Amino acid sequence: MSDGNLVKEVKVIVFQLKDEEYGVEVDQVRSIERMQHITRVPRTLDFVKGVINLRGVVTPIIELRKRFGIEEIETTDSTRIIIVAAGNLEVGLIVDAANDVVDIPNNVVEPPPEVVGGVEVDYLRGVAKMDKRLLILLNLDKVLNSTELKETKFFKANG
């Protein structure tokens, strides 16, 4: 393969939610933390679990299951908080488990399947098929979309 022909690869951290595998680009991941005490922040969106003390920085935590409309479960030993950074936001995502790093060639990424009346696919960047694994790649900017956050909050504060 010549240099010009190189297929670009993207390194992703793989994490589990329910029985599916998701991927988030490694350069957007700051760290992976064990579950710890979360201080609830009242009057915020329901998927905002609260804030933690991340080495002196107050960091908001999002319950990713709730964000994606998956039913919640009790935290287990494998529950992790993935600290991600997108733009000027630094946020922790609660996931069921995080245990893998893979390189995904760009040419195996396909746009997310569109289903009429299906789940919000807005925050998915694509789906990568790797042998028998199916990785759902997240579009973090959308996941952390703050306009949506503000609108809902406005609604909440008034309602």
Partner 1 sequence: MDKSQYLDMFIDESKEHLQAVNDNLLKLENEPENVAIVNEIFRSAHTLKGMAATMGYEDLASLTHIMENVLDGIRNHKIFVSTEILDVVFESVDDLEAMVMSIASGGDGKRDVTKTVAKFEKIEKGESVGVHMNQTEVASTQESIISGIPASLELYDDFEVTVLSQATEQGFNANQIKISLREDCILKAARVYMIFQVLEQIGEVIKSTPTVDALEEENFDLEFTVTLITKETNDDVRNRILKVSEVEKVAVITLDLESYKRKTIDSEVHIEETKKETAQQAPTKRQKQNNSVETTSNKEKVHSPGSKTIRVNIERLDILMNLFEELVIDRGRLEQIASDLKSSELTETVEHMSRISGDLQSIILNMRMVPVEQVFNRFPRMIRALAKDLNKKVNLEIIGAETELDRTVIDEIGDPLVHLLRNSIDHGVEKPEQRQNAEKSDEGKITLKAYHSGNHVFIEVSDDGAGINRDKVLKKAIESGVVSEENGHNLTDKQVYELLFSSGFSTVDVISDVSGRGVGLDVVKNKIESLGGHVAVDSVLGEGTTFSIQLPLTLSIISVMLVEVQKEKYAIPLSTIIETAIVKDKDILAAHNQKVIDFRGNIIPLINLTDFFDVPKTLKQDSYHSIIVIRKGEKMAGLVVDSFIGQQEIVLKSLGNYLTNVFAISGATILGDGQVALIVDCNALIK
Give me the residues that bind partner 1 (CB under 8 A), please.
Answer: 37, 39-44, 48, 50-53, 55-60, 88-91, 144, 146, 149-150, 153, 157
Phi and psi angles of residue 3, each rounded to the nearest 5 degrees, phi first: -60, -40
CB of 51 to partner 1, least distance (A): 5
3-state secondary structure of 8: coil
> 50: which strand partners?
61
Q: Which is nearer to partner 1, 57 or 73 (CB)?
A: 57
Q: How far apart are the first and last CA of the chain?
A: 60
CB of 34 to partner 1, least distance (A): 14
Q: Which is nearer to partner 1, 53 or 99 (CB)?
A: 53
Q: Which is nearer to partner 1, 42 or 69 (CB)?
A: 42
| Alpha-carbon span 95 to 15, nearest angstrom | 7
| Alpha-carbon span 105 to 74, nearest angstrom | 35
CB of 81 to partner 1, least distance (A): 14
